[in-house]
Amino acid sequence: MKNVQPAVLIVNILLLVLAGTIVIASLQYGFRQRIVPLVIGIPTLVMLVAILLSDFSPRLERILAMASLGSLQDALNEDIAASWTRIFVIAGWLVALSISLFVFGFYVTVPIFLVAFFVVEAKTPAVIAVLSSLVISAVLYLVFPYFLGIEIWPGITPKVMHGVFGGGLVPVL
């Protein structure tokens, strides 16, 4: 048995679940509606199962590698591999930014996020960070709402300032 990488396993299972769910759900539809999901889905499932099993079977991996002109393991993009701690930190920033945008809107979140990121990640002095974030935020707001006329999301908090902070209507999921 090979040394299986958790990321590889997670992605294999995730794709398998996604494809499997659609293939199984397609069975409830008529022939015409389900033919493409089945024609595409079944070979996809077979390939995903083979890839999953190849993580545990070096022999199967060799067979797949022959069809793919290269080891499956070689396809792993080592160039992008970084420590998981750093990846989690950066992913955390992105998740925090997106949730904050959702809750508090762009006008409030963007300057605060930029200052926080510049200070914590870029180790920029606070004054420079604040000035930079204000300039960047101003440019963004000039381009989007004023130049392009795109209204930007004010957040879902109770309305504090119309169109700027709070009072956004969340579309039904």
Partner 1 sequence: MIEAFLEGLAQLGQPAAIAAIVAGTIVGVLFGAIPGLGSVIAMAVLLPFTFGWDAYIAMFLFAGIFGTASTGGAIPAILLNTPGTIANVCTTLDGHPMARRGEAGRALGLAAMASGLGTFFSIIVLAMLLPAAKLLILAFGSPEFFWLVILGLVAVTLASRDNLVKGLAAGGVGILLSLIGLSLVFGQVRFALDSEFLYDGLPVVPLVVGFFALSELMVYTSRGGSIATVGEGLSQPGIRQTVGGALEVFRYKRVLLRGSIIGTVLGAVPGVGGAVANFLAYTTAKQASKTPELFGTGYPGGIVASESANDAKDGGILLPTLTFGIPGNVEMVILMGAFVLHGITPGRQLLVHNLDIVWAIILGVIAAQILTTIIVVSGGGFLAKISLIPVRYLAPIVAVVSFLGVYAIRSNPWDILLAVVAGCIGYLMRRAGFPLITFVIGFVLGNTAERSFVQSLQVSEGSYTIFFSSPISIIIIITILIFAGSPLIKYWYERFTAMRKAKLASR
What residues between 7 and 26 interact with partner 1 by CB under 8 A? 7-8, 10-12, 14-15, 18-19, 22-23, 25-26
Burial label, 71 (beta-carbon count in 10 A; 0-12, 13-18, 19+): middle
Cβ atoms within 10 Å of 90's Cβ, excluding its own = 12
Is residue 119 part of the contact set for partner 1 (CB under 8 A)? no
Is residue 152 part of the contact set for partner 1 (CB under 8 A)? yes
For residue 65, what are its two tokens?
A: 């590698």
Is residue 83 part of the contact set for partner 1 (CB under 8 A)? yes
Contact 24, 75 (CB under 8 A): no
Interface pick for partner 1 out of 53, 130, 144, 157 (rule CB under 8 A): 144
Interface pick for partner 1 out of 56, 62, 89, 126 (rule CB under 8 A): 89
Is residue 134 part of the contact set for partner 1 (CB under 8 A)? no
In whole angstroms, the minimum distance from the beta carbon of 41 to partner 1 comes to 6
Interface pick for partner 1 out of 1, 3, 27, 77 (rule CB under 8 A): 77
Is residue 58 part of the contact set for partner 1 (CB under 8 A)? no
Cβ atoms within 10 Å of 104's Cβ, excluding its own = 22
Helix 126-141 vs helix 84-120: crossing angle, to nearest 10: 90
Query: How far is residue 16's CA from residue 44's CA, in Å, rounded to a whole number?
Result: 9
Interface pick for partner 1 out of 47, 53, 112, 160 (rule CB under 8 A): 47
